[in-house]
C-alpha cells in the first residue's frame, strides 16, 4: 500500500525559524502540531490572556486547514 503524505505549509510561517511544520497530511488524515498563540510575525499574542491566546490558536489552525 502506498500512502501519500505531504507537509502542510503556511505563508508566512511564524514557526520557520524552529523548523517545525504546522501540519502533515497522510492519506485522508491531517495531523497538526506545534500550534501556539503566535501571530504571522512570530510574536506571542495575548500574554496572560487565555481568551486572546485561544483566539490566535484557532486562527492559526484555520490557516493550516486552508493550506
- Digit-coded pLDDT (tens) for 5-37: 888 877 877 666 665 677 888 998 988 877 788
Please work out, in degrees rounded to the nearest 5, the angle formed at the alpha carbon of residue 12 by the alpha carbons of 7 and 14.
85
pLDDT at residue 51 greater than cutoff 90: yes
Question: What rounded mean pLDDT belongs to the chain?
Answer: 84
Confidence (pLDDT) at 46: 94
Confidence (pLDDT) at 8: 81
pTM over 0.85: no
Amino acid at each position: 500500500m502506498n500512502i501519500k503524505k505531504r507537509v502542510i505549509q503556511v505563508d508566512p510561517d511564524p514557526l520557520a525559524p524552529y523548523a517545525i511544520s504546522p501540519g502533515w497530511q497522510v492519506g485522508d488524515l491531517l495531523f497538526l502540531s506545534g500550534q501556539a498563540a503566535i501571530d504571522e510575525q512570530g510574536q506571542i499574542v495575548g500574554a496572560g490572556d487565555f481568551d486572546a491566546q485561544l483566539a490566535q490558536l484557532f486562527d492559526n489552525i484555520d490557516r493550516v486547514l486552508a493550506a
